[in-house]
Structure 1
């Protein structure tokens, strides 16, 4: 996997560091970003607490001031991934409620996150693969979507679980392509079209539905799939 670098002074997503960040908050952020970098480069299992403290240039004791153990920092990085994904513009502007609209907007948003922040993109790529910290969650959600698609009369190429695994594999492939430098817009379309195809949704119809959804104000409290 291509190694990327995120400066410890730069928060994920490229936003400016908080103006009144305390020394403790700064230290925790440096540890978190060091962990995210190592998880992206080496994977969670191959990364030790010593690796994290060495990369962050702090003592092991300092690590335990902010995190109880490795699982604690893994959970914090997981939360970071979710938070960053929800910052993508298509999620900020509106909250789709139907499967085809969610796919037509959510897939490009995920690839946009990869393009915007290569370190988080590489980490997200690892997290979505079998054994990764987000794999089971992502697969369970995709199985749910596929079951709903089948209930709507959509023809799936296989059963919901197999179709979900295929969809997730296509997502991971698209993320890897963006990290490898493939054009973002072309990769977004190809990946979205492929995911929709295996779920039984025509691409052009889904994109038109997504565009209509984007032009309408989101209902208060509505959440997307």
Structure 2
């Protein structure tokens, strides 16, 4: 028994002797690098396909624009944080409770808009301008970002594959939503809550479905 155990212990020791602890920020930094590279491509695609909104220089000074953009930014930041946690082997899914926070924070703004609007005008508030393309363009712009996140995950070892895939899809679409704000002509909270959130949900569902195949290690 001792003669068998000794070679085994020596083998294990030789396998781990060259390992060095990974810096705690390494995962987040690699994810950020992949997301940034993908986002740069998405910006180029946005400019090539639909261009920037002509009044961008004016609306960047408005509360509504930044309220909408903040919804995307906070969603992207939280989902990136959760993705970084899930990238580690044996990670818990308890952190998923953070994901609805941006939606819950933004919901009162949309409710306030609906209350202030007459019933006859509420549908116009929901549809805004460009509702037909909003969700689809956000999803299209999320593809290069998802590719960047996929590149990052090649160095990780996630074990909660479905949850990781869903969060990665959500993160990619939220970053794409930030980029699409540079073109989107409608800044109402109701519009953003409906069409952008729809893109987030679709991306998360697709990520959950195909993530285990793409993010495996």
Length-normalised TM-score, structure 2: 0.27
> Higher helix share goes to which structure?
2
Bigger Rg over Cα: 2
Higher relative contact order (CA 8 A, sep 6+): 2
